[in-house]
Amino acid sequence: MESFGVLKLLFAMASMALVPFLFVMITCFTKIVIVLFILRNAMGVQQAPPNLVIYGITFLLTIFIWMPVGQQIAERIEQHSPSLESIDGWKIALEQALPPVKGFIGRHVNEKELAFFSQSAAKLWQVEENTAQIENHILILVPAFVISELSAAFEIGFLLYLPFLLIDLVVSNILLAMGSMMVSPVMIALPVKLFLFVSVDGWSRLMQSVIESYTG
C-alpha cells in the first residue's frame, strides 16, 4: 500500500509539471505572447512593458478567452465525479476533458496544417483509420494548432511592424536631408511611434482584434 501511495504521488507531481506545458500548447497563450513581444520590438521601447507585464496580460486574456472551454470541462467532470485517487479516475477525467479541448482547437486550427499532420501520421503510424478519425486525434490536433497559432501570430506581427518601419524610414530620410548626421533617428522616431500608437488607441484595438479572432 505504501508503494502504491508513492506511485500516486509521483504521478500527481508529473501531471502538475505538465500543466504549464499544456496551458501553452492548447490555449491561445502562444499567439498572444508572440504578438505582444513583436509589438514591443517594433516600437523599439526595449523593456516597456516589461516581460512580467506581457506575461500577465497574456495570462489574463488566455483565461478570458478559454473560460467557456474550462467551464465545459468542469461540468463534464462534475457529471461523472471520477475519483482522482486512482489511475482509472484520472483516466475518466482526461476522457471528459478532451472533447471541449478538441472542439476549441478544431475551430481555430488551419486546415492545411491539419491535413499535413494527418497525412504524415497515417504514414508514420501505419494506421488504416479514415481521415476523419485521424484528424480528431489529440496528437494530430495539438501540433497542427500550435503551428497555426505561430503562423497567425507572425502574420499579425508583420502587419504591426509595417507602420513603425515606415516611421523609421521617414524620420531617417528627413534627418539625412537636413544633414543632422549626429542625431540618432531612434531618438526622434520613438516618440513619434508612441504618439501614433496611443492616438489610434492601439492597445485597445489590438486586444479587441485578438479576442475577436477567437469568437468566430
Closest CA to 214 of 66, 59, 39: 66
Whether 87 contacts 11, CB under 8 Å: yes
Angle between helices 29-43 and 185-199 (to 10 degrees): 130
Among all chains, which residue has been given the C-alpha cell 482584434?
209
Upper half-sphere CA count for residue 71 (Cβ side, 13 Å): 6
Whether 153 contacts 161, CB under 8 Å: no
Q: Residue 12's pLDDT is what?
A: 62
Q: Residue 76's pLDDT is what?
A: 77
Cα 29 to Cα 23, 24, 55, 56, 95: the distances in Å are: 7, 5, 9, 11, 23
Closest CA to 214 of 73, 69, 117, 51: 69
Q: What b/e sequence results for 90-118 when a residue is b if at least 16 CB atoms lie within 10 Å of its CB, and e otherwise?
A: bebbeebbeebbbebbeeebeeebbeebb
In this prediction the pTM is: 0.81
Q: Residue 89's pLDDT is what?
A: 61
State the sign of the Cα–Cα–Cα–Cα dihedral 180, 186, 187, 193. Answer: positive
Closest CA to 97 of 66, 70, 73, 117: 73
Rg of the chain taking only CA atoms, in angstroms: 23
Q: Residue 216's pLDDT is what?
A: 66
In whole angstroms, what is the distance from residue 38 CA to residue 162 CA? 12
Query: Element (H or E) spanning 214, and its range?
Result: none
Cα 43 to Cα 35, 137, 140, 151, 216: the distances in Å are: 12, 40, 36, 21, 29
Q: Residue 96's pLDDT is what?
A: 74
pLDDT truncated to tens, each residue of the chain (216 aa)?
444 455 566 666 666 677 788 888 889 999 999 999 999 888 888 777 888 999 999 999 999 998 998 888 888 777 766 655 566 666 776 777 788 888 888 888 888 888 888 888 777 777 665 555 666 788 888 899 999 999 999 999 899 888 888 888 888 888 777 777 676 777 778 888 888 888 888 888 889 888 988 886
